[in-house]
Amino acid sequence: MFKFFVDIVKRLIVSSTLVFCISIPGFSQAVNGADTALTLDQCVDYALKHQPFVNQAIVNVAIARATNSITLAGWLPQVNVSANLTHYNTLPTAFIKNASSGTTVEQKTGVVNTAIPVVSVTQTIFNPALLYAARSAPLTIREAQQVTDSTKIEIVAGVSKTFYGLLLTLEQINVLKEDTARLGKNVSDAYHQYVSGIVDETDYDQAVISLNNSKFQLKQATENVTPEYAVLKQIMGYPPQSQFNVLYDTARMMNDIAFDTTQSLQFEKRIEFQVLQTEKQLQGQQIDYYRKAWLPTLGAFFNYDYEFENNSFGKLFSQAYPYSYMGLSLSMPIFTGLARVQNVKKNRLQLDLLNWSEANLKSQIYSEYTTALANYKSNLYNLTISKDNVNLAKRTYDIVSLQYLQGVVPYLNVITAESNLITSEISYHGALFQLLSSKIDLEKAMGVIVVH
């Protein structure tokens, strides 16, 4: 009775396995439940338009332009309107000398109520601070744009590597589906051979164990797809609630792995190096400003006063006495407590810091380049070896499977061949996407990633 029950259970396992294998091909089409499909280029283009960090950097460029406009506004005429309303409780006293008697007479002067609206216009002719602002303005814009380009390069690299990581998981799912289908057939073959008395029960049990392990790996890989899509959407700035599938051309990917490793490293192509050069130029402008801070500030002014005067407040605005004047103003620092000298010294020391930062950056760039180049070359070699291993593993599995069905070899050989095949296939796809990722690292290290 127990033997009969075991046979029934085994038949159910075989039936469910066959149903599972039949349903596999339709499963991968709905992994992400979306109709939209995006290629890598489309993902990158979307990220460059919608990624928050990119848009923040673009806004910072606009802020830099606005800041320059505010600073340079000092070169334009400045027009101001002011007004004073004055009531004297006691009129001021003046002493007037009598021409005939020669005596000095004390006398109250002025009127009780005065109202004076004034229009004043000033025009800067020369100002060292404004001259520094004018020379630094293009550099600040350039620096903001370079920071934006740096952000875009990071986003391009991040989206590309995350995209490849997601593709690796999807390819692993496809490999595991094929593996599960093969193991499902093995379970069926092992069961029929067991029922026919050709093999003992352990072959069938081992086949079921291998199938269950493969199903677990497939389930695990499938569950990993959702968080990997979430990471890709985060880097792209894609709405979390929206869904899309990735679309890729295997033939194009194989063409994209090529890279000319004979190119020489040029530090000037790295955006970080360009930003540092701009910072050094800005620092040089600041040093020049403090060196010339002793120069005078020269400006022109014009004032128009429309004065109302009357002892009766009710009649204050009945009569106006306008007057105007213009002139030049000049101011020049004579002694500032050696602040200017110390500012020059301080900014030269800050330039020395930037020079040391440049030396450190060159060392860092060279280290990144050599590491990326070594990884690219090793991954390229690994891809070639992995491709050969897949072909050998497939041929070996086919031969061993046929030998097992003929009763030549034990089922352990089939398990070993199947394990080698799935390992080789997963290793091949891993090598391909690692190579593509290492190419991105190499392009970034050499400063050849182009952004728009």
Distance CA 375, CA 77 (A): 61
Q: What is the pLDDT of residue 198?
A: 67
Angstrom CA distances, 254 to 248, 378, 391, 423, stand at 11, 16, 17, 21
Question: What angle in degrees, to the nearest 10, is found between the helix axes of 128-195 and 411-446?
Answer: 170
One domain, residues 86 and 197: no
If asked whether residues 90 and 146 sit together in one domain, one would say no
Of the candidate ranges 209-223, 315-329, 335-349, the one whose mean pLDDT is the lowest: 209-223
| One domain, residues 315 and 364 | no
**Alpha carbons 170 and 221: distance in angstroms, whole number:** 8
The boundaries of the domain holding residue 216 are 2-76+127-295+336-446
Classify residue 451: in a domain, yes or no.
no
Residue 167, helix vs strand vs coil: helix
> Same structural domain for residues 95 and 149?
no
Neighbours of 35 (CB within 10 A): 8
Give 107-136 pLDDT, tens digit per residue.
888 899 999 999 999 999 999 999 999 999
Q: Are residues 270 and 324 in the same domain?
A: no
Is the separation of the CB atoms in 166 and 228 below 8 Å? yes
For 132-179, how does the pLDDT look when each residue is reduced to its tens digit (9 = 90+)?
Answer: 999 999 999 999 999 999 999 999 999 999 999 999 999 999 988 988
DSSP 323-366: EEEEEEEEE--S--TTHHHHHHHHHHHHHHHHHHHHHHHHHHHH
Q: Say which residue the tokens 């009710």 belong to.
A: 314
Claim to verify: residue 72 and residue 82 sit in the same structural domain: no
Distance from C-alpha of 364 to C-alpha of 367, rounded to nearest angstrom: 5
The larger pLDDT score, comparing residue 437 to residue 248, is at 437
In a domain, 301, yes or no: yes
Determine the Cα angle at 377 with ends 373 and 380, to 5°: 135
Q: How many domains does the chain have?
A: 2
Confidence (pLDDT) at 32? 52
Q: Give me the CATH number covering residue 147.
A: 1.20.1600.10
138 in the same domain as 60: yes
pTM: predicted TM-score of the whole model, two decimal places: 0.82
82 shares a domain with 40:
no
Q: What's the rounded mean pLDDT across residues 290-317?
A: 94
